[in-house]
A = this chain, B = another copy of it.
Amino acid sequence: MIEKNNKRTDVNTIGEFGLINRITKNFALKQKTSILGVGDDAAVLDFADVKTVVSTDMLVEGIHFDLMYTPLKHLGYKAVVVNLSDIYAMNAIPSQITFSLAFSSKYSIEAIEELYEGVKLACDFYNVDLIGGDTTSSPKGMTISVTALGYTSEGLLTKRNGAKVGDIICVTGNLGASFLGLQILEREKQLFLNQPGIQPELGDAQYLIERHLKPEARKDAIEYFFKHKFTPTSMIDVSDGLASELFHICKSSGVGAFIEENKVPIHTDAQVMSLKFNTDPITCALNGGEDYELLFTVNEKDLEKVKYMPDIYIIGDIVDEKDGIKLHTSGGNIHDIKAQGWNHFDS
């Protein structure tokens, strides 16, 4: 490898977000058509009357997925869904994807076709067109890169930076289940490696495992917003855990947040399993990640509309920036929420 500059800072010292900041700060937007670039769930392009929304994600074997317990069909499905989730998080409708794949010769065509079966299932379910991609070999392992495009109108577009003091903080579905599903899969993998031939015990973990292997994007929430004619003031999808996403919204909007622990939705199976793993359920919700639920804020005037939304939970309020980002625990204490999230560069 050729490295001109001899200075060497390890990536671990600044983390993924630090790195992204560092490498993107020199890119100014020049095109009249570029409305929003790096820094939100997706980029926004103004080609005419509608806004085109673009998002991209890369999944690497051994980092984002383990083929020992991930069926390829599920992997294909998930790779699409995690991108569509970013489009929905802009209050936009996904319409197209490109799907690129690098894989080593250890994979058969049938394996690759199984992967694409999952891609097709996701495209059909979410009514999205596959419009391009690249397929190439890799010396080792598998890498997937997906770019999703969607559209929305100027008035409906929902970024991270619109939360105002007094807004209500909401989240769809429930949090922490995917993280716990992953813990179970990792545990069973280790048991299997130590004692090949052993049958996995997944009895009461079906729901959690499915949340990890086959997540869904919250298309229904966006449809509800459109149908009931109200627009969140800010929105983000929960891919890195509630804490990290709250930080993104608060930082972008210049506000603080106050969250009630007992309002944060955690599935019964997740509560039971987190105790088996000796973890606090709220920790799984705050720092777990890969839930692909939507975290959003709404103006108080829309409270009535939000209340009747199915599968929605009001978890707190937007407060002044100086009041920080706090959790009011079930035990009555108030703690600072710290953003951990995933850091794929951690060793």
Question: Which A residues contact B (CB, under 8 angstroms)?
Answer: 1-5, 7-12, 14, 16, 19-20, 22-24, 26-27, 29-31, 33-34, 36-38, 42-43, 45, 47-50, 52, 54-58, 60-64, 67-73, 95-96, 98, 100-102, 105-114, 116, 120, 123, 127-141, 143, 145, 147, 149, 151, 344-345, 347
Residues of B contacting A33 with CB < 8 Å?
95-96, 151
Residues of B contacting A52 with CB < 8 Å?
45, 47, 52, 149
A108 contacts B9, C-beta separation under 8 Å = yes
Residues of B contacting A140 with CB < 8 Å?
139-141
Closest Cβ of chain B to A25, distance in Å, is 10
Complexed CA–CA distance, A64 and B45 (Å): 30
Residues of B contacting A55 with CB < 8 Å?
132
Out of B4, B24, B132, which one reaches A56, CB within 8 Å?
B132
Out of B72, B132, B151, which one reaches A47, CB within 8 Å?
B151
B128 contacts A58, C-beta separation under 8 Å = no
Apart from A37-B132, A48-B49: 15 A-B pairs, beta carbons within 8 A: A5-B113, A5-B114, A11-B109, A23-B116, A34-B96, A37-B130, A43-B132, A47-B47, A47-B151, A54-B98, A54-B131, A57-B100, A58-B136, A60-B143, A100-B145
**Cβ contacts A to B, 6 pairs, < 8 Å:** A4-B71, A23-B116, A31-B129, A43-B131, A60-B136, A105-B345
Complexed CA–CA distance, A31 and B151 (Å): 12
Out of B49, B127, B347, which one reaches A105, CB within 8 Å?
B347
Complexed CA–CA distance, A47 and B45 (Å): 11
B5 contacts A139, C-beta separation under 8 Å = no
Closest Cβ of chain B to A217, distance in Å, is 17
A2 contacts B145, C-beta separation under 8 Å = no
Residues of B contacting A109 with CB < 8 Å?
8-11, 14, 19, 22
Residues of B contacting A26 with CB < 8 Å?
116, 120
Residues of B contacting A102 with CB < 8 Å?
58, 60, 63, 143
B22 contacts A60, C-beta separation under 8 Å = no
Residues of B contacting A23 with CB < 8 Å?
112-113, 116, 135
A20 contacts B136, C-beta separation under 8 Å = no
Complexed CA–CA distance, A57 and B102 (Å): 10
Out of B8, B30, B129, B136, which one reaches A34, CB within 8 Å?
B129
Complexed CA–CA distance, A135 and B20 (Å): 7
Closest Cβ of chain B to A132, distance in Å, is 4
Out of B1, B95, B127, which one reaches A111, CB within 8 Å?
B1
Residues of B contacting A69 with CB < 8 Å?
2
Closest chain B residue, CB of each to CB of A133: B56
Complexed CA–CA distance, A258 and B50 (Å): 45
